Amino acid sequence: MRRRGFVSEMYRAARFANDVSVLASGNPSRIARRAKNKIVGRALGRSGLWRALWG
């Protein structure tokens, strides 16, 4: 498995902190929107869309 660089780790920590913030808010619509955006983003990433656009 490839080691992540420092900047990559910082972005990962920021995404995790945002997830925690959304869950801690207790706002169901905010939680649902965050979950939907993560699912859509992962699906687009796995389909290769981002590479096709900027690769």
In this predicted model, what pLDDT tens digit does every residue of 1-47 receive, in sequence order?
Answer: 778 899 999 999 999 999 999 999 999 999 999 999 999 999 998 99
Q: Compute φ and ψ for 26, nearest 5 degrees.
A: 75, 5
Per-residue model confidence (pLDDT) at position 31 = 97
Q: With 80 as the cut, is the pLDDT of residue 55 above it? A: no
Candidates 16, 53, 13, 50; CA nearest to 5 is 13
Of 2 and 49, more confident: 49
